[in-house]
Amino acid sequence: MSVSKQSKIMKQSKQSPQPKTQVAMGRGSLLKRLTAQTGSAAMATGILKKRGDMNADGSLTAHGAARNLMTAEERALDRSAKRYGKPTTSFEYNPRTNSANLKG
């Protein structure tokens, strides 16, 4: 086997599949993203209902609809801003961990 073919195979084997936190990061994908993260649509629906983002009939509540209009980044920034009582501009988003940390 040639050296270039070996290096190509090694590069391919080092590439990992897309992490669960990188799936469905856009607007309107709250349920799809949570389903990808939990691996179960039933579990994702249950979590959304428990949080108050989804009604018993499966429709989104006003709060859930507002969250659904946000991207994953906006939701992470919003969570951190609420937690620390600071504006969202005080945080940096990390897409690998789907979290936001204080700048600086």
Number of structural domains (the chain) is 2
Note the pTM of the prediction, 2 decimals: 0.71
Distance CA 9, CA 67 (A): 42
**Tokens 């086997």 sit at which residue?**
1
Is there a single domain that holds both residue 65 and residue 81?
no
| Dihedrals phi, psi of 96, to nearest 5 degrees | -70, -35
User: With contact defined as beta carbons under 8 Å apart, do 54 and 45 qualify?
Assistant: yes
Is there a single domain that holds both residue 62 and residue 89?
no
- pLDDT value of position 16: 52
Mind listing the pLDDT tens digit for each residue in 3-43? 555 555 555 545 555 555 576 778 988 999 899 989 999 99
Residue 93 lies in a domain: yes
- pLDDT value of position 14: 52
| Dihedrals phi, psi of 58, to nearest 5 degrees | 95, -5
Is there a single domain that holds both residue 27 and residue 64?
yes
Is there a single domain that holds both residue 55 and residue 93?
no
Residue 14 lies in a domain: no
Domain that holds residue 65: 20-70
